[in-house]
Amino acid sequence: MSPQAQSIAKNTTWLTGAYIFQKIFAFIYFTLVARFIGANDIGVYTFAISLTTIFSVFIDMGLSSVLIREAAKFKDKANEYLNNIITVKIVLAILSYLGVAVVINLLGKPQLSQVMVYLAGLVMILDSFTLAFFAVFRAYQNLKYEAIGIAINQIVILGVGLAGIYLKFPLYILVLALLAGSTFNFLYSLILLKVKLKFNFKLLWDKSILRTLFKIALPFALAGIFVRVYSYIDQILLSVLIGDQALGWYSVPYKITYAFQFVPAAFSAAIYPAMSDCFLNNKEKLRLIFDKSMYLLIILSVPSAIGIACLADKIILSLYTAEFIPSILAMQIFIFAIVPMFLNYPAGAILNACDKQGRNTLNMGITMILNVILNIILIPLYQHIGAAFAALVSLTLLFILNLVQVPKITGFDYKYLLIKSVKSVLAALMMASVILSLKAQLNFLILIIIGAVIYLGIMYLLKGFTKNDVLFLWQSVFKKAVPSEEETLMT
């Protein structure tokens, strides 16, 4: 393995491990908090985070993504780029915080909700600066420190939040827990820049540099706005149009579904450099990477969606108590969104890697518009159930819009993917029949294990996966040698 490949593997391992840790602990934390405080209060908390998360994109405006790319190319200018971006972010942070304050007052929310939003706004600002600081380390191909920061940040949040609930502090202790974690990460990343990279900080406003950075950042900024709006507008509308209790019911399937997101995200980060290289040097290998990526994510997402839909009632009643019974149907709808969510990662990655990021951004914009329209129509009629359906339709549309662009870059084997998909669905349905027959007698954790064994066993008998499929992707990402198509494209 080459030194560059070793660096990619090491960074991927660090960041993937941190994200897995963060997702697991965040899920445990949310579950415990929801059990302790109930649907209405978890709705209040979720609203505060969702509103400020939407506004956070206006502080960054895609500049952190541009900083990674430009600092990687011109490391001697990294400090200068960062100082200009910090200066701009200070201005944008003030304007964004004022925007949050205006919106929360116009919505006429209770005083507790307003306090929580104001505190969450501080979290929003600190996280945006931390994002820029760690962007520099990404440019230097060192993700170790960011991974450590992610893990410690989550530990701080969990410790402060659970202690506050145990001691019966007011509800805003949950946002103070986030603020404590964000403050640590901000100071940690700032000190690392000073100590490890010897960066100096001062306010700079170089019009030439900023003009160049903003020009490059525009697609990233638009993509960020579109993603934040279609990911969080449903929660804002639920709170405003129906109430915080309905948002609390919705937040459970939302959290469970998005807890799986780190899997395709980490996978996409690993294959993205390989796709970029193959676009220039080996179009046939690019096609094979895409085919195998889609296939592996199909066999992961399909059984997960079907299995969790079968067990939704047992999962929610076991983890969240009977107060969250209204979450069950929303869970059974929302969980199927992980299929288009998973598959969109390689579809979006190949567009970005092959200079089609503008099309990817346009597709996100179309998805955002549809999502907003569906939520405005469905939430007043069906409350959190309508929001779950809107999310499923929107994510499916985004995947389809990106997928139809792939043949313009490279061909892909429709027959291969169709056969793999059919085998996966058949195996998952057989798995589901067993789960449903044993559902009344066994704990859902045992049923998950049984289901996984049955699914993998049936897939093996159907020749739904082979060792060579996995080997091809591993070698594509980390090695120069690639198996031949005859060795890898096996159905």
Q: What is the pLDDT of residues 288-322, one digit of tens each?
A: 888 888 888 898 899 999 999 999 999 999 999 89
Is the C-alpha dihedral spanning 175, 121, 136, 263 positive or negative? positive
Which amino acid type is present at position 12?
T
Is the C-alpha dihedral spanning 420, 282, 349, 398 positive or negative? negative
* Structure tokens belonging to residue 273: 């450099």
4 has pLDDT over 60:
no
270 has pLDDT over 80:
no
The pLDDT value given to residue 2: 47
484 has pLDDT over 90:
no
Q: Rounded mean pLDDT of 105-118?
A: 94
The pLDDT value given to residue 486: 33
CA atoms within 13 A on the CB side of 177: 25
5 has pLDDT over 80:
no
Residue pair 428/298 in contact (Cβ under 8 Å)? The answer is no
In angstroms, rounded to a whole number, what is the distance separating the alpha carbons of residues 412 and 133?
A: 39
The pLDDT value given to residue 69: 78
The pLDDT value given to residue 336: 97
* Structure tokens belonging to residue 63: 């500049």
Residue 201: closest CA among 334, 317, 86, 51: 86
Residue 394: closest CA among 327, 328, 341: 341
DSSP H helices, 140-206, are: 144-166, 173-196
In angstroms, rounded to a whole number, what is the distance separating the alpha carbons of residues 254 and 227?
A: 15
261 has pLDDT over 60:
yes
The pLDDT value given to residue 10: 62
Best-predicted range by mean pLDDT (156-165, 195-204, 223-232): 156-165
Q: By mean pLDDT, which of 100-114, 249-263, 298-312 is the weakest? A: 249-263
Confidence of residue 12 (pLDDT cuts 50, 70, 90): low
Residue pair 271/476 in contact (Cβ under 8 Å)? The answer is yes
Answer whether 0.75 is exceeded by the pTM.
yes
**54 SS3 class:** helix
Q: Rounded mean pLDDT of 226-248?
A: 93
CA angle 143, 144, 145 (to 5 degrees): 95
The pLDDT value given to residue 409: 82
The residue that leads in pLDDT, 274 or 300, is: 300
Q: Percent of the chain, pLDDT > 90?
A: 59
In angstroms, rounded to a whole number, what is the distance separating the alpha carbons of residues 374 and 372?
A: 6
352 has pLDDT over 80:
no
The pLDDT value given to residue 481: 37
The pLDDT value given to residue 11: 60
pLDDT tens, 359-404?
A: 888 999 999 999 999 999 999 999 999 999 999 999 999 999 999 9
* Structure tokens belonging to residue 90: 């200070």
483 has pLDDT over 60:
no
Separate counts of helices (H) and strands (E) for the chain = 17, 0
200: left (phi over 0), alpha (psi -120 to 50) or beta: beta
The pLDDT value given to residue 71: 84
